[in-house]
Structure 1
Amino acid sequence: MKSPVVKRSIVVRGHKTGVSLEHPFWSSVKELAKERGITLAELISEIDANRQQANLSSAVRVFVLDHFKARAVRPSA
């Protein structure tokens, strides 16, 4: 069985690193980067700079989760 986790190499603050995420998280983080008008690498660099988790992949998952949780409680315009 193929793993649901996809590992991608990303350049974060000038160095290449690997990020392993499930497909729904990759789709979501790409969507968020597009909404902000920045590249995926730029968004992941921001997440990396502000993360509380030791693991970058975990930090990306928490970022995506927090974003959609906040969106769910905001009143619709």
Structure 2
Amino acid sequence: MDKRSLSIAGHRTSIALEPEFWAALEFMAAEKSQTMAGLIRDIDENRETANLSSAARLAVLRWYQSRAAAL
């Protein structure tokens, strides 16, 4: 697990994720021309779960599912 701290909506938060999820989030952010903080902020604003780490994992899963469906 890698723990990273980010500023989101004016406050600091920490997220612990496996390195593979961080790599996927970095790829997603680059593809959307966003910063990591911007991507995590979007995930935070649209999450359906109380846990931000779980919401980030689900965002990665859904992103890859949508890419696979487009093939």
TM-score for both structures, normalised by structure 2: 0.97
CA distance in 2, matches of 1:28, 1:14: 25
Larger of the two Rg values belongs to structure: 1
Task: Specify every segment of 5 or more residues in structure 2 that has no aligned partner in the other structure, as ranges.
Answer: none
How many Å apart are 1:21 and its aligned residue?
Answer: 0.4
Counterpart pick for 1:63 among 59, 65, 70: 59
Query: Structure 1: any 5+ residue segments left out of the alignment?
Result: none
Q: Which 4+ residue blocks in structure 1 deviate beyond 4 angstroms? A: none
Identity %: 44
TM-score relative to the length of structure 1: 0.89
Root-mean-square deviation (CA, aligned residues, Å) is 0.6
Look up the match of 1:21. 17
Q: Post-superposition shift, 1:22?
A: 0.2
